[in-house]
Chains A and B, each alone.
Chain A
């Protein structure tokens, strides 16, 4: 996987107290990329002592939202808002599962406990695609239209700072981020391309 060179502009960091990190994401043409996921994975990930909850709906033969970012150990429910039945599956290594044809909301949510990229599809409707980025960190956000995002409340420590959008089949190795005493400076991240269209 190619990774663009990463320029890190680190502001002064104070180890003692959490800091906010501002990041801009650009593509190869240095154009800001909107809706890209920016996340920082700490060197020592916190234990999964609680299960988060999330939901990906199916509306008008589309997954809603198409791109989700969840922390590892998130139980995602797949309610079916359509009046037709869907069969949601994933062959991704991070989470492989199949929901047999169903309508309404299945009884059991699907637990996404491994970090990684999970591509969801419907076995009945090939056009339905959704991405779930499972990250092993609570610090993630998404860029705004101008490609900027802020990771707020990063405790001091070392991180791998990564950006991703759904045009990328794999996660970046990321770049090192140290939150120290001084406040971190603005960081610019590169992604491979634009966010895939919501409606292909």
Chain B
């Protein structure tokens, strides 16, 4: 039983209370009975003393009477009065024996002991206790305790009359055990006759045991103090009275009347033993009783406590079944209502917390928890599983252009299609926005791949909204357990990374590769370095010339960023630009690029070089509202006309949020800046949309250009794109020209501007003027007739 529980507190309190009361009562009874016992003994001693005194007196009188009778015996008197010493001697002897005297003396009128039974008729000697005779003279008889020949005797002196007094008979009676015993029987007290001389006590007779007698002698204080002594420790406490009996010279005779206090305490002892027994019994009873009561109270409390613990653990299933009429019962009832209420609300909250209200799919939290559970189970059975994270392409476009209700409808449809693809055991969730996740309880390659493909296919099928087809697609990132992470968080993160890779590479789905993660890690470390790169001026702009094909001349260049890393050396943009885009740092970089490019443009202008410079903008750059103002400021600062700067924006860059992109582009165009659609052909932008944009240039994606020599389809795309651009009044730029064949073909197709390693790799700003002036690489380009080329490839 722990001491701080309610039960033990109650038990301890009750028992302590009872214990205190009992100890109090016992102490009270003890002290009062002890006092009573002392008073009782005192009374007994007082009475005993009186009885003792009267008994002693009576004894004296009896002895005196005996002595008188003896002294008045005629024959005795005759023997004393007339006899010779031998006769007298024998008479004393004989008559003394009659009264059981220890000694008989005859003292003549001159106070001389004439004869006695101790020494016989020797020389007469003076009787030592003359006072006794004197008292006898006046009173007729006298008694005293005295010492005769070293014997303590009770002496009685009576006259011998013949018929006139002729002397005194002194009869001595022994002060002995019998006397003491008689007196004890009469008084009920222990009686001791002791004598003191010079502080030393000697025992004459005592009813005490020999041992106690010795103790008495050794503990009695000297005579003077002894008279007032009332209590003596020997070693038990004795109450006593010291009664003086007489003295002989310096010798005192006293009777000690005493009684051990314990004698009188006997009855109390009995009482206290009973009280202790009763106390222990009631203590046990109270312990038992209080335990019973405490348990009666605390058992339901324990049950309540158990219930509360269950509720605290989140287990609301077990009802609290304590049916009592008392407060605890009411409390239990209340608690049970509370439990039911909490359980109900928790269900609701859980639903809210774990379910996506739109698609009725589990949300990110529930998916994360389930994933974690599945991971644990998979770990137990050494199994595996796969996590898909997918993101809808072009969803934002739908949402913004067609309205949120369409977006919602689309999401619901996506959810339905996903569900239909899943088997039992698979799981699907909406992570948020247009992001979904799928859990496959195996990492088996075939199954995973098939599922990924079927999802892609399912989502590429147009969705129908009120008869209008909606095209969306999806990019899927896949992470496998245990290969790609040990917990839900790691798997989701890696699947996410894989998804971004998939999105970037437009590969549909990508299985996570640890390499991505290391590059990710590199990126993480890069952020700090990149930040410093700007401060430390480690960034450079390289310029790749763009040549006009119809006149073979250079009038523009694309500014490409390079990072002269202090450790890694020259870093190509693909190593840090995606990361910068991902983290948002791209905005800083773009600002720097814009600033540097416009400055350089201004510088060249001052040198008389008119070079139009193209700068790449990312989708994120477009979201910066102050972009137009920033560029205007830079242009003004470096006195660069707006048309000298061309902004290249990827198709995907504005397809994420076309409406917003259009507004920004309109503002940029209003400044006078040239705008170019970069990587054209990879996105899904509709021509009707592009037509609305204020662009000046189309840049055919390098994938088409570099492959068009071998691939007729590519050639077709390039040709039709050039035609399309021209039809829209746009300048068409081809990039990624790596050989003369492509160069010739493009020229033949009527492409306006060419850019690529075949013409020139990007170069430092300092190199460009030289290249423009003397470098006539371009001029050395083979003059291949376009028709020939076209014929060769067709």
| A residues apposed to B, CB below 8 Å | 89, 91, 96, 119-123, 126, 128-129, 169
Contacts and interface: CB of A to CB of B under 8 A. Distances in A.
Nearest to A122: B163
A126 B82 CA distance: 18
Contact of B162 (A91, A122, A128): A91
B72 interface: yes
Interface string B506-528: 00000000000000000000000
A120 B163 CA distance: 7
Chain B interface main SS type: helix
A123 B74 contact: yes
Nearest to B81: A91
B77 interface: yes
B161 interface: yes
Given A91-B77, A91-B81, A91-B82, A129 B164 contact: yes
B78 interface: yes
A121 B163 contact: yes
B82 A96 contact: yes
A129 B164 CA distance: 8
A128 B82 contact: no
Nearest to A96: B82
A126 B162 contact: no
A66 to B, nearest CB: 12
Contacts of B161: 121, 126
Given A91-B77, A126-B72, A119 B82 contact: no
Interface residues of B, number: 11
Contacts of A128: 163
12 contacts: A89-B74, A89-B78, A91-B82, A96-B82, A120-B163, A121-B161, A122-B163, A123-B74, A126-B72, A129-B163, A129-B164, A169-B164
B258 to A, nearest CB: 44
Interface in B383-439: none
Interface string B53-93: 00000000000000000001010011001100000000000
A63 B166 CA distance: 20
A33 B78 CA distance: 33
A181 to B, nearest CB: 44
B72 A119 contact: no
Contacts of A126: 72, 161, 163
Given A91-B81, A91-B82, A119 B164 contact: yes
Max chain A C-beta neighbours (<10 A), residue from B78, B82, B164 = B164
B168 to A, nearest CB: 16
Max chain A C-beta neighbours (<10 A), residue from B74, B77, B166 = B74
B11 to A, nearest CB: 90
B65 to A, nearest CB: 15
Contacts of B163: 119-122, 126, 128-129
B68 to A, nearest CB: 11
Contacts of A119: 162-164
A126 B165 CA distance: 11
Interface string B150-167: 000000000001111010
Contact of B78 (A91, A122, A129): A91
User: Can you list the 4 inter-chain pairs with the closest CB atoms, starting with the nearest?
Assistant: A121-B163, A91-B81, A91-B162, A91-B82
A129 B78 CA distance: 16
Nearest to A93: B82
A122 to B, nearest CB: 8
Contacts of B72: 126
B764 to A, nearest CB: 175
B130 to A, nearest CB: 20
Nearest to B80: A91
B591 to A, nearest CB: 163
Contacts of A96: 82
Nearest to B162: A91
Contacts of A169: 164
B714 to A, nearest CB: 183
Interface in B19-57: none
B39 to A, nearest CB: 51
A121 B162 contact: yes
Interface string B240-273: 0000000000000000000000000000000000
A122 B74 CA distance: 10
Contacts of A89: 74, 78
Nearest to A119: B164
Nearest to B166: A91
A117 B81 CA distance: 14
A91 B166 CA distance: 11
Nearest to A124: B74
Contacts of B166: 91
Max chain B C-beta neighbours (<10 A), residue from A91, A96, A126, A129 = A91
A119 B166 CA distance: 11
Nearest to A196: B164
B76 to A, nearest CB: 11
A2 to B, nearest CB: 13
A121 B72 CA distance: 12
A120 B162 CA distance: 8
A129 B74 CA distance: 15
Contacts of A129: 163-164
A99 to B, nearest CB: 13
Nearest to B82: A91
A123 B74 CA distance: 7
A146 to B, nearest CB: 28
A166 to B, nearest CB: 9
Contacts of B81: 91
A96 to B, nearest CB: 6
A183 to B, nearest CB: 40
Nearest to A130: B163
